Amino acid sequence: MTAPRIAPFGSWPSPITGDLIAADSISFYEVLLDGDDVYWVEGRPPESGRYVVVGRSPDGRVGDVTPAPYYARTLAHSVLVFRTALTF
């Protein structure tokens, strides 16, 4: 075993990176209710940071509403949900 090396704070190499920590985390934004349906936007780092509108129907089914490769949160796309119709 090698002897420990003393190094200034933050200068030692680490196998743990910010990308590794965030790789499997999903963030949630903009929860919307439309009757008995619920919609929200998910940020997905594993999909190059794509934002996806996800919906949950009254019977519990959950699924993506915006198809790949579209991003739900860009300046070019705005999202409107009204009575189970998604416009973007």
State pLDDT tens for residues 37-88. 998 888 888 888 888 989 999 999 999 988 888 888 764 445 555 555 565 5
Contact 65, 41 (CB under 8 A): no
- Taking the C-alpha atoms of residue 85 and residue 55, their distance in angstroms, rounded to an integer, is 11
Which amino acid is located at 67 in the chain? P
Higher pLDDT, 62 or 7: 62
